[in-house]
Structure 1
Amino acid sequence: MGWLRASSIVSAATLASRLLGFLRDVLLAQSLGAGVAADALLVALKLPNLLRRLFAEGAFSAAFVPLFSQILTSDGRPRALAFAGRALTALGLVLTVATGLALLAMPLVILVLAPGFDPLDPRRDLAVELARRTFPFILFVSLAALLGGVLNVLGRFAAAAAAPVILNLVMIAVLLWYGGEPLALARVLALALPVAGALQLLLLWQACRSAGAPIRPRADLADPQLRPLARRILPGIASAGVYQVNVVVVTVMATALAPGAVSFLYFADRLAQLPLGLIGVAISTALLPIVARRMAEGRLEEARAVRDQAVEIALLLTLPAAAGLTALALPIVSILFGRGAFDAAATVATAAALQAFALGLPAAVLVRIMAATLFARGDLRTPLMGAIVALAVNLTVGLATLGSLGHLGLATAASLSSWANLAVLVRRIGRIEGRAFSRRTKLRALGGLVCAIVAASVAVQALREMQHLEPPMALGGAILVAGLAFLGMAAVARVVRPQELVALFRDRA
């Protein structure tokens, strides 16, 4: 399967998951409100979600996929599947022990996650109870991540991409059909998390069988490849952990500002994360197994060519998105959030933060792609160093501008940290390969940037011409006109050629 088609599958599944997640949050707010049950449940969901991001999403795949690809290429499918079975067993044993310890230590864990819940606060005991119900989710979703890695290497992306949708579907089903009072509903929702994780694992287990790659647990753990797998996982988790610390640090610094700063950054970041998930995460997820497979087969030039193509397509999508978010930030925020208690001042402040986040969007997307290339080479140290540099830049710039720019300084610091992270990765790849980007890729990126800036200007002018329409219709029309203008200019400037996209989609390039 072509990497562009694989990316499209992952992107579509990500979009479906985000939309269902929005519906889930609406139903959750409607059913639980903002009382004791809601507070306790949201705290209980923090830990499994954090561990899922640290471990299951990215860190394990980055370590497992290149090794599995290498064994598949050198030793054949039976040996590779045997390795996957042993890795599944080892991972299951480690996570079972970790889950048991976490369940015993949950009161202490909740004390760290929610220090504001004092011993007399009813939310504390309820949060401990709910967290014990939700925590086994990390066991199931981590095992599912291994099976998803196997499927991705074999070119079967659909099941692994669709699996996260199951969680939102299960929780939406509970919210729609369970009629209990808030405390009882919170307890059922907490149990829904591990149930959804088990369903994800079952789906991917069956998908592996259907793909002719059944993964069976193996009691014999004497596989020499398990040690390098363990050594690779730890830097991957640390890299993801630095990013999560980055997010927490921004929130902590924002609490030192006037009320509302945390909310401005949260809502702006939610909008900026949408293109990052649909473009950066989707392409990097599809790219990792394909590049790893080519490298394992010794096809290094092909692997580099695939990465160059991925960079070009990513920028073709990201540059107009970043320019559009910058130019249309105010009407976008106004239409989506500007109602009720979210007044005009909040709209302006959030739009300014969105513009600052948008400036770092191209770098954040490219970081995903360049890191996937390094992961495929077995280099997890450089992405970790990049994440550490990003954290240092974020802290330095954020603290330096906190007094003068407030929440806008924090958003700007986040964008600059993405560019610093990218610089570390590009420098390392340049040293390994002699260059990080081909001349064609650089020229197309420059052309795409010019087209995106012009298209953003077209969008602003089109919005002015459509002021007689309802705001959502005017915004949609302006985006459509600007999108067509960008595509036309990109085609004329040969930033992209339709026949190349068709060839990439069919994996003929």
Structure 2
Amino acid sequence: MRDAVRRLVLGGLLGKLLGLLREVLLAAAYGTGAPATATRVAQTATLVPVDLFTADVLTAGFLPMHRELLRTDPRRAAVLFQSLRRTLWVLGLALTAVSLVLAGPVVGVLAPGLDPSTATTAAQFLQVMALGVPSYLQYALLSYLEMSHGGFRLSSVRATVQNTGLIASLGLAWALQTPVLVATGFAAAYLGLHAWGHRTVRRRGILPAARFHVEPGVGRALRRALWVRLRPLLLLPVVLQASVVVERVVASLLGDQVVAAVDYARFVATTGVNLLAVPLGLAGLAVLSGLDTAAARERLGALLPGLLLVVAPLSVVLTVGAAPVVSVLYARGAFDAGAVTTSAAVLAGFGVGFWAQSVAYVLVKALNAANRNRMAALALVGGLAVTLVLNVALHRVLGPVTLGLAGSAGAVVTTIVAARALGVGGTLARWVAGCLPVAGAAVLAARWAGGGAGGWAGLLALAGAVLAVWGAAALVLPSWRRVVVGIVRSGGEQGPGQGAQFPAA
């Protein structure tokens, strides 16, 4: 698990750095104007149907099932892979055809509040991005095939190559003054990744042959077994993608500028989740599945305090320092004061629940690893339903901040349900309660230290104040001190006297 986490963390870090560069360049070139808004809408229109049909099939279905079959019957594992591969080819080509023909109506449903010229641009972007959908699906399957064999190279480079393609296309679009070229980066990146991924798994000898002899009925039995695994999750992708669509609809009703601002803010808010929680959660799929209930509970109970002590202060910084964070990252070129204000409002809302987003991801993946997919789905559906309802109910009252607060509230609900199901609800509640007064003190210190200053000066001042309060608490509180000392002594791998593994922060 340690090696898996490190590889995914390093790959995610490079990908996030390139992602940051991508966002900064997009902000400087187009701000929250029509090309940036069209990019966001087209990305959502491209990925919503893909994730609707495939996200849980690969993570909660194919990966654990294929890994089990590799140990017991490798030939059946090969049949499972080839069957799913053919299905994804058909699905990818069908989705591409639909996007090419019905791009305009799709954008109209997804973002009804857009200005007509912006909607036309978004439809053009969608048609270009859709060309990469079949390769996107195939590369995802190859990544999970490699992960099932204990490799993480394809997963770790995915974000890096994708962002490199987007940066290159953005530069080309800006140089030629042709915004639609921005959309070519997605398709080109996945066409290249698909070809490279196929060659990589074939050279490693883990790509099953396209044709081989197998007993009659094996494929049907495997599809039935996969269906049994996925049946509890049927509601989840529907609610998830409905939440994504509702968010886009609400943002478009609040104004074209808000559509782009949401993703600028979300990029910042999800960076910590991608760098900390996602690697731990994915590696946990392969490791926690081998533990019994008591051992898994002990492992998670030891992980949660350290994870909270890392993400909670970041949550405070993102909430209180949303404006200077956005200003430092994006305020240049076409990204004007209005864009800063709108994006900062959304980011502050996300910051409130940043800690919960990180914890929820790890806990849900732990449920998947234990084959408790029904409970994982219940936790996620509950959170997503809260997000959806709050977005619809409050956006006219609170404005753009609603989009962040609704996501935070949903993450808290998911965290509570998953923690109780895993038997670590008490541990989590005690540590969250212990963090609350320290977080309150950190908020007061940050507001005093920031003094209304913007840019780097304000950001460094308030972040320093938050870390000072958090560091003082870690020195004074014995339970905090034991967690920190345990992590430091083991170089981030072992928890304090628990034998728990934790990714280096």
- State the distance in 1 between where 2:306 and 2:49 align: 31
Aligned to 1:89: 82
**C-alpha distance 487-105 of structure 1, shift in aligned 2 (>3 A):** same
| CA deviations over 1:168-213 (Å, ceiling 9, x no partner) | 234445666898784995686465144233145237516854xxx5
User: Which of residues 351, 362, 365 in structure 1 aligns to 2:355?
Assistant: 362
User: Which of residues 142, 145, 151 in structure 1 aligns to 2:143?
Assistant: 145
Once the two structures are TM-superposed, the CA of residue 39 in structure 1 deviates from its matched residue by 8.6
2:406 equivalent to 1:413: yes
| CA deviations over 1:455-483 (Å, ceiling 9, x no partner) | 4444444434x96xx93145235424533
Q: Which amino acid is 2:191 matched to?
A: V
- State the distance in 2 between where 1:240 and 1:208 align: 33
Q: Which amino acid is 2:373 matched to?
A: L
Aligned to 1:202: 198
Q: Which amino acid is 2:282 matched to?
A: T
User: Which of residues 285, 291, 300 in structure 1 aligns to 2:282?
Assistant: 285
Within-5 A mapping of 1:462-501? 462-464=449-451, 471-476=455-460, 478-480=462-464, 482-483=466-467, 485-493=469-477, 494-495=479-480, 496-500=483-487
Once the two structures are TM-superposed, the CA of residue 239 in structure 1 deviates from its matched residue by 2.0
Once the two structures are TM-superposed, the CA of residue 370 in structure 1 deviates from its matched residue by 1.9
Aligned to 2:271: 274
Q: Which amino acid is 2:63 matched to?
A: V
Q: Percent of counterpart pairs with the same letter?
A: 23
Q: Which amino acid is 2:418 matched to?
A: L
Within-5 A mapping of 1:146-185? 146-151=144-149, 154=150, 156-172=151-167, 182=178
Once the two structures are TM-superposed, the CA of residue 9 in structure 1 deviates from its matched residue by 3.5
Within-5 A mapping of 1:14-25? 14-24=12-22
Q: Is the 8 A contact 2:278 2:361 kept in 1?
A: yes
Once the two structures are TM-superposed, the CA of residue 322 in structure 1 deviates from its matched residue by 0.8
**C-alpha distance 500-379 of structure 1, shift in aligned 2 (>3 A):** same
Gaps of 5+ in 2: 501-505
**C-alpha distance 307-504 of structure 1, shift in aligned 2 (>3 A):** farther
| CA deviations over 1:220-256 (Å, ceiling 9, x no partner) | 4715344222343465475244223212212322333
- State the distance in 2 between where 1:471 and 1:35 align: 23
User: Which of residues 170, 188, 191 in structure 2 aligns to 1:192?
Assistant: 188
Gaps of 5+ in 1: 430-434
Once the two structures are TM-superposed, the CA of residue 315 in structure 1 deviates from its matched residue by 1.1
2:297 equivalent to 1:309: no
- State the distance in 2 between where 1:340 and 1:185 align: 20
Alignment root-mean-square deviation, CA: 4.1
Q: Is the 8 A contact 1:88 1:146 kept in 2?
A: no
| CA deviations over 1:284-336 (Å, ceiling 9, x no partner) | 22222211122xxxx33222222223322321221111111122223223333
Q: Which amino acid is 1:13 matched to?
A: G
- State the distance in 1 between where 2:169 and 2:84 align: 30
Q: Which amino acid is 1:482 matched to?
A: V
Q: Is the 8 A contact 2:266 2:350 kept in 1?
A: yes
**C-alpha distance 147-488 of structure 1, shift in aligned 2 (>3 A):** farther
Task: Give the TM-score taking structure 2 as reference length.
Answer: 0.79
- State the distance in 2 between where 1:263 and 1:42 align: 6
Aligned to 1:373: 366
Aligned to 1:432: none
Once the two structures are TM-superposed, the CA of residue 150 in structure 1 deviates from its matched residue by 0.7
Within-5 A mapping of 1:7-46? 7-24=5-22, 45-46=43-44
Q: Which amino acid is 2:486 matched to?
A: Q
Q: Is the 8 A contact 1:164 1:200 kept in 2?
A: no
- State the distance in 2 between where 1:24 and 1:500 align: 33
Q: Is the 8 A contact 1:20 1:169 kept in 2?
A: yes
Within-5 A mapping of 1:202-351? 202=198, 205=201, 209=205, 215-217=208-210, 219=212, 220=214, 222-223=218-219, 224-233=221-230, 236=233, 238-257=235-254, 260-294=257-291, 299-338=292-331, 344=337, 347-351=340-344
Once the two structures are TM-superposed, the CA of residue 396 in structure 1 deviates from its matched residue by 3.4
**C-alpha distance 111-308 of structure 1, shift in aligned 2 (>3 A):** same
Aligned to 1:307, the other structure's residue is in SS state helix
Aligned to 2:503: none
Task: Give the TM-score taking structure 1 as reference length.
Answer: 0.78
Aligned to 2:441: 454
**C-alpha distance 58-257 of structure 1, shift in aligned 2 (>3 A):** same
- State the distance in 1 between where 2:32 and 2:132 align: 20
- State the distance in 2 between where 1:203 and 1:318 align: 38
**C-alpha distance 282-45 of structure 1, shift in aligned 2 (>3 A):** same
Q: Is the 8 A contact 2:325 2:459 kept in 1?
A: yes
Q: Which amino acid is 1:447 matched to?
A: G
- State the distance in 2 between where 1:478 and 1:361 align: 17
Aligned to 2:372, the other structure's residue is in SS state coil
Q: Which amino acid is 1:14 matched to?
A: G
| CA deviations over 1:325-378 (Å, ceiling 9, x no partner) | 122223223333445665556544543432222222222222212211221122
Within-5 A mapping of 1:62-81? 62-72=60-70, 75=72, 79=73, 81=74
Q: Which amino acid is 2:7 matched to?
A: I
Q: Which amino acid is 1:497 matched to?
A: V
**C-alpha distance 106-333 of structure 1, shift in aligned 2 (>3 A):** closer
Q: Choose 176-185 or 340-349, whichever is displaced more.
A: 176-185
- State the distance in 2 between where 1:368 and 1:263 align: 25
Aligned to 2:218, the other structure's residue is in SS state coil
| CA deviations over 1:73-107 (Å, ceiling 9, x no partner) | 6x3xxx2x434322220111111222333344344
Once the two structures are TM-superposed, the CA of residue 26 in structure 1 deviates from its matched residue by 5.7
- State the distance in 2 between where 1:185 and 1:397 align: 36
2:428 equivalent to 1:428: no
- State the distance in 1 between where 2:139 and 2:208 align: 16
**C-alpha distance 263-114 of structure 1, shift in aligned 2 (>3 A):** closer
Q: Choose 161-170 or 495-504, whichever is displaced more.
A: 495-504
